[in-house]
Amino acid sequence: MTQDIVILAAGKGSRMKSTFSKVLHKVGGIAMVKRVLATAKMLPESTLHLVVGHQGEQVEKECQDFSANIVWQDNPQGTGDALRRVAPFLQSEGATLTLYGDVPLIRSSTLEKMTSLSTPNTLVLLTINLDNPTGYGRIVRDEKGQVCAIVEQKDATSEQLAITEVNTGILLAPNAHLQGWLASLDNNNAQGEYYLTDVIAMAARDGVEIVTVNPENEAEVAGVNDRVQLAALERELQQQTARQLMQNGATLLDPARIDVRGELTTGQDVVIDVNCVFEGKVTLGDGVEIGPNCHLKNCTVGDNTVIKSNSMIDESQVGEHCDIGPFARLRPGTQLANKAKIGNFVETKKAIIGEGSKVNHLSYIGDTQMGANVNVGAGTITCNYDGVNKYKTQIDDGVFVGSNSSLVAPVHVSQGATIAAGSTITKKVEAEQLAFARARQTNKDNWPRPAKK
């Protein structure tokens, strides 16, 4: 059955105490509303509608990749009011699924379960039983156990407040009936709002079958109203992610101390130490080992590479059997061939490092094309920026660069050449040459050291 999916994202979220829309706050590195849209997009034959209001321009811009129909809800007056704004865009047949931009952990499997029960004469409601249902609308059933209404907390009697089955707000209603129900909504209630939940009583009145589905856990339907709840869902998502990584064959030395803020894919026998952060899309090959306190962002790491503690890899490609860190930083555009080594306190940027080449200590290599089996001594830098423009350094296979050398780009060091320690190289070095560029040393006898005054 074709579906309209409506994501409600118009609320201000004043309890967040924020200058931007609540639904743009992130869980697992992704804006909450984008998580909901991505889940909704997994359902086939669906049209997405995004209801925006407070700071709607920013929400629309952030979500533009989903090609959702943007519907404005100025002066919001409840969930029913939001659906009434979308009503002109709904298909005449099929059903409408209502989701919420601040309920980010809803699972596609739960939504698929709901859609499997949908018919032109069936309304599917997502409910959950809570030990403490305070604040939620209660599910009212008749003597036969059939759902006949939802009563909001502020409108409930003492008997209804004792009900533990509550409304999650997520429902799937047949479009053939929904248009009429929306037109019949009123705001005669304690909040003075148009409640979407009132369509439940209308469905029961019209003989529409009401069936319920339960989520796998409470976190799946938990909403975010403040930063405490946001932090709780962040921890829940990280725990879910950690379990999935371990089930896929990764070893996490402490599953409670890992943060995945995007998408992490791991091969077999990957080992990840504590306090590691993964952002964007990160792929780790088989046998990769990552030490504590590392930060990986939008990168790929080949099989059996070791990344030692306190290293950062950002938008880079790392080959197999590489050795990185500790305290190394690979900036965007870095590419390491197999068996390359980047040691402690080394920074690279737009650097292509050849197979087996080593930059072991305290060096900066930027805008550089480096061949295979190059050895770069401690304290070496490529001077790639003249204050206005960037230039490239070319280092061919087998070059040996002595410690504390400066290679002033644009410059080319040819195959097998040697750079003497302490040199500043400003012009091409031919193959197998020794280049040294430093002032002549002068030694003075009986030099008196300065005395403290």
Q: What is the pLDDT of residue 440?
A: 84
Q: Looking at this protein, which amino acid is placed at residue 31? A: A
Per the DSSP assignment, residues forming a β-bridge with 151 are 138
pLDDT in tens, 155-210: 899 999 999 999 999 999 999 999 999 999 999 887 889 989 899 999 999 999 99
Per the DSSP assignment, residues forming a β-bridge with 155 are none
Domain boundaries, the chain: 3-221, 227-435
Sequential DSSP letters for 186-198: ---STT-S--TTH
- Helix ranges (DSSP H) in 210-255: 227-247
Q: What is the pLDDT of residue 1?
A: 64
Q: Give the Cα separation of 235 and 259 in Å (integer).
A: 9
Chain centroid to CA 441: how far?
Answer: 56
- Per the annotation, binding residues for UDP-N-acetyl-alpha-D-glucosamine are 8-11, 22, 73, 78-79, 100-102, 137, 152, 167, 225, 331, 349, 364, 375
Q: What is the pLDDT of residue 225?
A: 94
Nearest alpha carbon to residue 284 among 326, 317, 237: 317
CATH 3.40.50.720 fits 3-221, yes or no: no
Sequential DSSP letters for 143-191: TTS-EEEEE-GGG--HHHHT--EEEEEEEEEEHHHHHHHHHH----STT
> What torsion, rounded to 10 degrees, do the Cα atoms 30, 31, 33, 37 define?
-30
For residue 199, give Cα distances in angstroms to 1, 114, 172, 203, 279: 21, 17, 11, 6, 42
Superfamily of domain 227-435: Hexapeptide repeat proteins (2.160.10.10)
Of all residues in the chain, the percent with pLDDT exceeding 90 is 90
Nearest alpha carbon to residue 31 among 5, 50, 4, 3: 50
Question: What is the pTM (predicted TM-score) of this model?
Answer: 0.90
Q: Give the Cα separation of 210 and 148 in Å (integer).
A: 8
pLDDT in tens, 263-301: 999 999 999 999 999 999 999 999 999 999 999 999 999
Q: Which residues of the chain have pLDDT under 70?
A: 1
Q: Give the Cα separation of 247 and 241 in Å (integer).
A: 10
Q: Which residue in 25, 321, 361, 412 is the catalytic one?
A: 361
Determine which helix (DSSP H) or strand (DSSP E) holds 203, and give its type and residue range: helix 198-205
Q: What is the mean pLDDT of the chain?
A: 95
Q: Among this protein's residues, is 321 annotated catalytic?
A: no
- Per the annotation, binding residues for Mg(2+) are 102, 225
Residue 285 near residue 302, CB atoms below 8 Å = yes
Q: What is the pLDDT of residue 449?
A: 79
